[in-house]
Amino acid sequence: MSYAKRYHRQTGRLPSALMAKPDIGLLYGFAGMITRICTRLPSTAKQRLQGRVRGALKDNIGLTPLAFEMRTIAHFMASGFEIELHDLCSGGAYDFLAAKPPGVELEVECKSVSADLGRKIHLLRQYQLGGRLWPLMRAGERPGIVRLVVASVPDRLFPAHDFMEAVAATIGGSLEAGKSVAREGCCSVSYCELPISDSPFDCPSPPNIAIDDVIEYCNSALGYKVGQVMMVFAPRQSATVVAVRSRKKDEFLQGVYRQLREAARQLSASRPGVICVQFRNVTSVELRDIAGEPAASGTPTALQLMTNKFFDSAARSHVHTVAYVAPGRFVGRRSILGDQMHSEIKEDAVSYYFANKKHPLVDDLQWQAFK
């Protein structure tokens, strides 16, 4: 075994040259990344990684947080950094160290948070309600019509059987009668009908109907944001769309703020730190909209204000960058140069990042991991 290979196996350091392999696309895939990393880890770190994979397969969240960490590692490696897997090799603190000459070292902590964090209407609860609503949504479909229903609950969409049944019955009654229903105890329901022409359902094939387009269509039709939706439809024939909202405000950003504070404490404060936060269940389109909102409205977003508040504390002066990321999709590209075919696989993901203006290295391009 060469000295270089022995060094990397002992330290858990992943060279940036790993990204120069011909099968670069494999590195962006979760399984390929795990395989490559495992071969370069000390035995103790390898056991920890295997334990994390087994544990992720048993819990409700699954592999998403670990996959996000692997993709973040791939991002830094593609930018020329060598990676030292600090958490796996040392058993605590920040996730990994990203380093490149001359003397650039960044401590990186990854957090994967659900879009349901702090929200009154959890997506899982909405899916559970959808199982009860499915036959009710199919009944009474009207040709050429989109039936749009928005149910407003007093607080949360609680998982209790009786509550779910009552909400489903109220929505079903609104669909059957074709009118809005007011009911204080369980929920109120707003009902409207729209022509299917010029709607997202006015297309010949189901794969062409994107959930983001349907949500935007509902927001535009009603003049307010409906959140996530459930729908049944027949292209160019009929559709039924149901959304559930709470009359109370969400507390999503408070939950994100707590995650940022925890991440800052896991950094050693001896080097500049980077915190990467993945919003699960938030699409790239939604994150692009959030990032573009200040330019369109001329006012900062709540996410900007919350991040600035986070940077204001002297206890977080070591944090150089906070990056918010939405899950992406893998995109393959092929090109022909001369007589050779070249293939490339990249993740079409979006990052919305903030640099700490109080950090002494904020304007030094060498320390910028996101551009």
Ordered strands of the 273-280 beta sheet: 13-14, 82-84, 96-100, 104-114, 273-280, 319-337, 340-355
Longest dimension (CA), the chain: 76
For tokens 């369980």, the residue is 186
What pLDDT was estimated at residue 120?
81
What pLDDT was estimated at residue 371?
72
Radius of gyration of the chain (CA): 24
Backbone dihedral angles phi then psi of residue 80, each to the nearest 5 degrees: 95, 10
pTM over 0.75? The answer is: no
What pLDDT was estimated at residue 244?
94
Cα–Cα distance, 215 to 231 (Å, whole number): 10
Answer for the pair 148, 167: CB distance below 8 angstroms, yes or no: no
What pLDDT was estimated at residue 119?
74
Question: pLDDT truncated to tens, each residue of the chain (371 aa)?
Answer: 443 444 444 555 666 554 444 334 444 467 777 887 888 888 888 899 889 888 888 877 788 888 889 889 888 988 889 999 999 888 778 999 999 988 999 999 999 987 666 678 887 888 899 999 999 999 888 899 999 999 999 988 888 999 999 999 999 999 999 999 987 678 999 999 999 999 999 998 887 788 889 999 999 999 998 888 999 999 999 999 999 999 887 777 788 889 999 999 999 999 999 999 998 877 777 777 777 767 667 778 888 889 999 999 999 999 999 999 887 655 555 666 666 665 555 555 678 899 999 999 999 988 888 87
Answer for the pair 240, 137: CB distance below 8 angstroms, yes or no: yes
What pLDDT was estimated at residue 172?
93
What pLDDT was estimated at residue 289?
73
Cα–Cα distance, 228 to 214 (Å, whole number): 10
Phi-psi region of 218 (alpha: psi -120 to 50; beta: other; left: phi over 0): alpha
Answer for the pair 276, 111: CB distance below 8 angstroms, yes or no: yes
What pLDDT was estimated at residue 342?
59
Task: Single out the residue of 193, 189, 148 nearest to residue 168, CA to CA.
Answer: 189
Answer for the pair 56, 62: CB distance below 8 angstroms, yes or no: yes
Answer for the pair 301, 343: CB distance below 8 angstroms, yes or no: no
Cα–Cα distance, 47 to 62 (Å, whole number): 19
What pLDDT was estimated at residue 13?
64
